[in-house]
């Protein structure tokens, strides 16, 4: 079956965070896609709706099987007892922070990184510890010397890892993950690996699950999983955590249960089962479409907006754009673009102070909409240069 990713769907005035939060015409910020879900997911949800009774629901064996079978392609067999349903990844991570750390402990993150990592640490009265990624003007890498120094601090109890990394779009290698695991094990730091973007790699590329890199990784970690990003069902609130280590698992599962995060809404399991069991063809076509959008954007920047540069992206539909030639402050630049051209992105400062010369762009939209957004960006850069004499 051939799926349609070209049709522009009017999402204005539908209570869409992406389309209705800002007064804009082309939103390219928050991470959801402007594509209809796979027909198989829609049919599964329609079937559940047609039952006509919407009471409390159990988690069926098919839900566990769907996760287990999907991750076999990545060389991991998640056992049933490792898996726990949770209604969303970030509330689960928040709960895990409360379970495995005390107030004023430190949680390590690798910046620039998904901005909600900051909030979930600070809102729980924990301290952010940054292992800043090294940027050489082209690519990012991990500063392992700094990472070990930070791990030596006994207040660092947890690390939040983004695998693949949002916003830089990097797939961490097995060797890199193994090295993180060795250091975490050495200094008794639990790694929470957020892997919700794992399916959205460029065609021909495959990510490495953190727990597959070594026994040390597997035994000292928690993995968060979800079909929400891959299959555009974030609004349904369906996710899972997987924990091989029995001692960590018992503490985590009890806390997740106590905080009421493990009770599914009626549609959560049906959506996940349909996505993993029947959505692979849709996903493969989506990955091709997004990759072609990346190629288009890269070429457009080089030819039309040479002041901006795409950081090479291996995964996700969120692209990290280097704006350092303009010497911008990302919030002011983003606000300027919104006001002058009605296009909005994610300002890089949200991802850490070392992201302030960047913007993050969501390209998961039909090509015509993408072209419209980048024409507006081009015009916005021209106006910005004129106004600030750059």
Per the domain annotation, does 46 fall within a domain? no
Closest CA to 351 of 375, 373, 372, 331: 331
Q: In whole angstroms, give the CA distance from residue 363 to residue 356.
A: 20
Give the pLDDT score at 390. Answer: 82
Q: Distance of CA 304 to CAs 23, 86, 226, 298, 308, Å?
A: 26, 44, 37, 10, 9
Q: Is 221 found in the same domain as 135?
A: yes
Final residue before a domain boundary, out of 249, 278, 307:
278
Q: Is 95 found in the same domain as 233?
A: yes
Per the domain annotation, does 6 fall within a domain? no
Q: In whole angstroms, give the CA distance from residue 311 to residue 351.
A: 15
CATH assignment of the domain containing 105: 3.40.640.10
Phi, psi of 376, deg, nearest 5: -65, -40
The residue segments making up the domain with residue 137 are: 55-278
Q: Is 253 found in the same domain as 109?
A: yes
Sign of the CA dihedral running 98, 100, 106, 108? negative
Per the domain annotation, does 72 fall within a domain? yes
Q: In whole angstroms, give the CA distance from residue 13 to residue 7.
A: 18
Which value, to the nearest 10 degrees, does the dihedral of the CA atoms of residues 233, 264, 274, 192 take?
A: 70
Per the domain annotation, does 254 fall within a domain? yes
Report yes or no: 210 and 176 within 8 Å, Cβ to Cβ.
no
Q: What tokens does 140 get?
A: 């990012």
Per the domain annotation, does 77 fall within a domain? yes
Per the domain annotation, does 44 fall within a domain? no
Q: What tokens does 230 get?
A: 């891959």
Q: Is 251 found in the same domain as 111?
A: yes
Q: Is 222 found in the same domain as 120?
A: yes
Tell me the angle at which helices 246-258 and 89-100 cross, rounded to the nearest 10 degrees.
110
Q: Is 247 found in the same domain as 131?
A: yes
Per the domain annotation, does 349 fall within a domain? yes
Final residue before a domain boundary, out of 219, 250, 278:
278
Q: Is 310 found in the same domain as 180?
A: no
The answer to whether the bond into 164 is cis (omega within 30° of 0) is yes
Per the domain annotation, does 324 fall within a domain? yes
Q: What tokens does 240 get?
A: 């899972």
Closest CA to 276 of 78, 61, 40: 40
Place of tokens 């850069």: 381
Q: Is 87 found in the same domain as 156?
A: yes
CB neighbourhood size of 329 (10 A): 16
3-state helix, strand, coil in the chain (%, to 5): 45, 15, 40
Judged by DSSP in three states, 39 sits in helix
Final residue before a domain boundary, out of 261, 278, 295:
278
pLDDT in tens, the chain (390 residues): 899 999 999 999 999 999 999 999 999 999 999 999 999 999 999 999 999 999 999 999 999 999 999 999 999 999 999 999 999 999 999 999 999 999 999 999 999 999 999 999 999 999 999 999 999 999 999 999 999 999 999 999 999 999 999 999 999 999 999 999 999 999 999 999 999 999 999 999 999 999 999 999 999 999 999 999 999 999 999 999 999 999 999 999 999 999 999 999 999 999 999 999 999 999 999 999 999 999 999 999 999 999 999 999 999 999 999 999 999 999 999 999 999 999 999 999 999 999 999 999 999 999 999 999 999 999 999 999 999 888
CATH assignment of the domain containing 29: 3.90.1150.10
Give the pLDDT score at 42. Answer: 98
Q: Is 267 found in the same domain as 189?
A: yes
Instruction: State how many domains the chain has.
Output: 2
């Amino acid at each position: 079956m051939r799926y349609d990713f070209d049709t522009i769907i009017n999402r204005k005035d539908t209570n869409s965070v992406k389309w209705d939060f800002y007064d804009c015409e082309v939103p390219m910020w928050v991470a959801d896609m402007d594509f209809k879900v796979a027909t198989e997911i829609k049919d599964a949800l329609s079937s559940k709706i047609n039952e006509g009774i919407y009471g409390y629901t159990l988690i069926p064996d098919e839900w566990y099987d769907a996760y287990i079978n999907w991750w076999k392609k990545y060389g991991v067999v998640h056992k049933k007892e490792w898996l726990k349903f949770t209604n969303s990844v970030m509330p689960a991570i928040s709960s895990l922070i409360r379970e495995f750390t005390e107030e004023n402990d430190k949680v390590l993150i690798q910046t620039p990184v998904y901005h909600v990592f900051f909030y979930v640490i600070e809102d729980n009265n924990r301290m952010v510890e940054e292992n800043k990624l090294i940027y050489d003007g082209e690519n990012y890498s991990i500063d392992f010397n700094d990472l070990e120094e930070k791990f030596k601090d006994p207040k660092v109890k947890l690390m939040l890892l983004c695998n693949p990394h949002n916003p830089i779009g990097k797939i961490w290698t097995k060797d890199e993950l193994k090295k993180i695991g060795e250091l975490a094990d050495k200094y008794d730091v639990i790694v929470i690996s957020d892997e919700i973007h794992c399916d959205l790699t460029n065609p021909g590329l495959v990510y490495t699950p953190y727990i597959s890199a070594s026994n040390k990784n597997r035994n000292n970690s928690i993995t968060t999983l979800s079909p929400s990003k891959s299959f555009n069902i974030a609004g349904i609130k369906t996710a899972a955590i997987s924990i091989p280590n029995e001692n960590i698992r018992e503490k985590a599962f009890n806390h997740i249960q106590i905080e009421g995060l493990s009770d599914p809404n009626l549609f959560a399991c049906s959506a996940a089962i349909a996505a993993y069991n029947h959505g692979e063809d849709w996903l493969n076509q989506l990955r091709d479409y997004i990759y072609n959008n990346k190629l288009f954007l890269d070429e457009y920047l080089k030819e039309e907006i040479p002041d901006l540069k795409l950081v090479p992206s291996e995964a996700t539909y969120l692209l990290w754009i280097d704006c350092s030639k303009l010497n911008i402050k990302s919030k002011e630049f983003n606000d300027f673009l919104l006001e002058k051209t009605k296009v909005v992105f994610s300002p890089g400062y949200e991802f850490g102070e070392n992201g302030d010369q960047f913007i993050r762009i969501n390209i998961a939209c039909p090509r015509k909409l993408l072209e419209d957004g980048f024409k507006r960006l081009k015009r916005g850069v021209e106006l910005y240069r004129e106004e600030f004499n750059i």
